[in-house]
Amino acid sequence: MQYVKLIREKQRDKDMRNIIIDCDPGHDDAIAILMALAHKDELNILGLTTVGGNQLLAKVTKNALKVLSLVDEDIPAAAGEAKPLIKPIHTGEDAHGESGMDGPVLPEPKFSVVSDNAVQFMYEKIKGCKEKVTIAALGPLTNIALLLRVYPEIKSKIEMICLMGGGIHIGNRTAAAEFNIYVDPEAAKMVFNSGVDIVMAGLDVTNKAMIMDDERELLRGKGKISDFVSDLLDFYSLASKRFGFEGSSLHDPCVMGYLLKPDLFEGKRYHVDVETQGDITRGMTLADERPVPEKEANTLVLLEVKRKEFIDFVCQCVFKLDAERRDKKTL
């Protein structure tokens, strides 16, 4: 695929990709964050921002700080928008529990946020970076929509927005809409129509990126980080089975998987827009799949993943963090 080759060529031209992780942890968010932290030689993490989504803002922000504390990574973090642009927030408590990250028991975070204005934080980080910045968007797109609306000049410094959200053939929060887009479709519409390059890891691919129960067990007992992830997946798998899945779909990790191993994925470029008005289609991501589309493509929609290789890679990331932790203790 031409677009994937382009990304890989860019990676060869420079040692690292600068990224900001915008998230709402969230079980799969936590795993995606760990994947990024396992590859700091490839990803220069400028910061982490949070947005209300899987749970209320205070809870997901605390979860993000707990994950950073677990691996002793004092990455600057900023709290963002607590609610969508227009309508009240709908959380994902049915999948992620009362804390937003139920299952593992972690101590209180030892780090704090450096700002409660994620939009300003992102703007300053991107503006101050010599190279372009990729935004890894793992939650509702409220923070990012506001960034592009308040600071439109920053678009030229954004390499791409690689997001988990949507689904051109299926929804999960409703029959038409995926959760992240459903929470704030107005924000999503602004982002998809911003002119910034978009890579969309939606349900079309993330539902294929499924870890099975026997693979989940391979993580257990390998170290503190591995045990944390297996505990995450123990709880997450319960919701997955309630929703009719055999295994647990690793939604947000597909974003990091694409940024680190794009050859594991295949996709097509479409013009994607977001429905904000329909009673039963609100939050739907609509791709123009006609032979002669009305508008120019604005999104690379990921559609296929090499499932086994992807799951192996996720596990390798976790094992790598545990190995680094052991190495630090022996120094």
Other Cβ atoms less than 10 A from the Cβ of 57: the count is: 21
Distance (Å, whole) CA 217 – CA 220: 5
Q: What pLDDT is attached to residue 325? A: 85
**238-260 residue pLDDT tens:** 888 888 888 999 999 999 999 99
How confident is the model at residue 2, as a pLDDT?
44
- This prediction has a pTM of 0.94
Active-site option among 27, 90, 169, 251: 251
pLDDT of residue 13: 44
Q: Please, are residues 125 and 20 in contact by the beta-carbon 8 Å criterion?
A: yes
- The string of pLDDT tens digits covering residues 86-128 is 999 999 999 999 999 999 999 999 999 999 999 999 999 999 9
Known active-site residue 251:
yes
For residues 179 and 90, what is the distance between their CA atoms, to the nearest angstrom? 9
pLDDT tens for each residue of the chain, 331 residues long: 444 444 444 444 446 899 999 999 999 999 999 999 999 999 999 999 999 999 999 999 999 999 999 999 999 999 999 999 999 999 999 999 999 999 999 999 999 999 999 999 999 999 999 999 999 999 999 999 999 999 999 999 999 999 999 999 999 999 999 999 999 999 999 999 999 999 999 999 999 999 999 999 999 999 999 999 999 999 999 888 888 888 999 999 999 999 999 999 999 999 999 999 999 999 999 999 999 999 999 999 999 999 999 999 999 999 999 999 887 776 4
Pick among 3.40.50.2300, 3.90.1300.10, 3.90.245.10, 3.30.360.10: CATH of 2-330? 3.90.245.10
* pLDDT computed for residue 326 by the predictor: 85
Residue 9 confidence (pLDDT): 41
DSSP annotation string for 15-30:
S-EEEEEEE---HHHH
- Averaged confidence pLDDT in the chain: 94
Angle at 234 between CA 232 and CA 237, to 5 degrees: 100
Gap between the Cα atoms of 50 and 81, Å rounded = 8
CB 43 within 8 A of CB 259: yes
Question: Residue 135: which H helix or E strand, with range?
Answer: strand 133-137
Write out 71-91 in H/E/C secondary structure: CCCCCCEEECCCCCCCCCCCC
